[in-house]
Structure 1
Amino acid sequence: MSAVIEPGEFRRILGHWPSGVVVVTAMGSDGPVGMSCSSFTSVSLDPPLIGFFPAVTSATWPAIREAGRFTVNVLAHHHEELSRAFSQKGIDRFAAVPWHEGEAGPVIDDAAAWIACELYDELPAGDHTLVLGTVLALSAAEQSGPLVFHRGGYARLA
């Protein structure tokens, strides 16, 4: 028998685990698409795989899936507003964002790092989907610290 865990309490307790923030982007049939995500991880070195978890209700994930390739943009410490914008619905998320086309999707110009991927697999994971991507190319701006999400808010590493 499993315990009944209240979702709000689950979120509050797991919020004690800090995470980085990424924006996953792709070139959709109608132009660039992207979404913020704080559930991102490295998965495998051989082959090089990453993973992230969009909600099953995401309106953006299907467009990224259809593209078959995507870029994970690791947000820098000054990207709080950008992260919030890529979490909103019904707006042009790329309107005020300097970016350029990468081999697998839009690359945010001043991201802390970017990782170009090809869709490897996706698996159901409760109210989310586990997306696995094969890493095609990657790069980092060594001078830029990451944006961190912790206990429901944004933070910087000291």
Structure 2
Amino acid sequence: MTEILDTAVDFRATMGRLATGVSVITTRSGSTPVGMTASAVSALSLAPLQLLVCIGNHLYTRTAIAEHGRFAVNVLGEDGEALARNFAASKADKFAGVETVDDHGVPVLKDAIAAVVCDVAEALPGGDHTIFVGAVRHCTHRVDCRPLLHFAGGFGALRTPRHA
């Protein structure tokens, strides 16, 4: 480390060096599907089954999750960059041309390599974000798929992992 970093820009650039998986968080606002790209997703507990997602307080998806009480985490595969960019954009209908299935009352992306449907168990303040703790209702995954990764502001893929 060559210097002390203390601004939001520095912090964001520094944390951008932590490679993360890329997910699309989906929910509903009434009958309208709502979604956004996220990398702040983590498994939380095996007993009970829980995960967490962190959503910016200024985002419509945050309000929709809080009101609907249920959301899905759709994990994108290495070929999912177009979906990631689509759901990261500010546009009216992010679901146009995107295939989904209704799973426990929320849209789940057909092209996701894994999906976890959760009920909101808790909503906790986290600075300018809300931390949603999700109680897992249903999860599914495809085998032999590699994830889309986010690193330093760009997208990449994982080489085939070596298993110990």
Tell me the TM-score normalised to structure 1 length.
Answer: 0.94
Tell me the TM-score normalised to structure 2 length.
Answer: 0.90
CA RMSD of aligned residues (A): 1.4
Distance in structure 2 (CA, Å) of the matches to 1:14 and 1:47: 29
1:39-118 map, 5 Å: 39-118=40-119
Identical columns (%)? 34
Deviations 1:128-153 (A, max 9, x none): 11110000110101122111001110
Distance in structure 2 (CA, Å) of the matches to 1:64 and 1:88: 18
Distance in structure 2 (CA, Å) of the matches to 1:96 and 1:145: 23
Distance in structure 2 (CA, Å) of the matches to 1:14 and 1:27: 30
Matched residue type, 2:152: R
Distance in structure 2 (CA, Å) of the matches to 1:46 and 1:147: 28
Q: Runs of 5+ in structure 1 lacking a partner?
A: none
Q: Runs of 5+ in structure 2 lacking a partner?
A: 160-164
**Deviation, structure 1 residue 4:** 7.6
Check the 8 A contact 1:79/1:147 in 2, yes or no. Answer: yes
Distance in structure 2 (CA, Å) of the matches to 1:109 and 1:27: 17
Aligned to 2:162: none
Distance in structure 2 (CA, Å) of the matches to 1:96 and 1:45: 35
Deviations 1:30-52 (A, max 9, x none): 41111111000001111111001
SS at match of 1:60: helix
Displaced runs of 4+ in structure 1, greater than 2 A? Answer: none
Distance in structure 2 (CA, Å) of the matches to 1:100 and 1:120: 23
Q: How many residues get paired?
A: 156
